[in-house]
Amino acid sequence: MGNALIVDDSSTERKILVSYLQELGITVSTAESGEEALERLNGSIPDLIVLDVVLPGKSGFEVCREIKAGANTAKVPVIICSTKGSEMDKFWGMKQGADAYIPKPVDKEEFFSAVKRLIK
What is the SS3 assignment for 120? coil
Cα torsion angle, 89, 94, 97, 100, sign: positive
In the chain the domains, ranked by start, together with CATH numbers, are 3-118 (3.40.50.2300)
Give the whole-angstrom CA distance, residue 39 versus residue 63. Answer: 11
> Would you write out the chain's pLDDT as a tens digit for each of its 120 residues?
799 999 999 999 999 999 999 999 999 999 999 999 999 999 899 999 999 999 999 999 999 999 999 999 999 999 999 998 899 999 999 999 999 999 999 999 999 999 999 997
What is the SS3 assignment for 100? strand
9 touches 17 (CB < 8 A): no
Which amino acid is residue 14, in one-letter code? R
Give the whole-angstrom CA distance, residue 11 versus residue 14. Answer: 5
How long a stretch of residues is the chain?
120
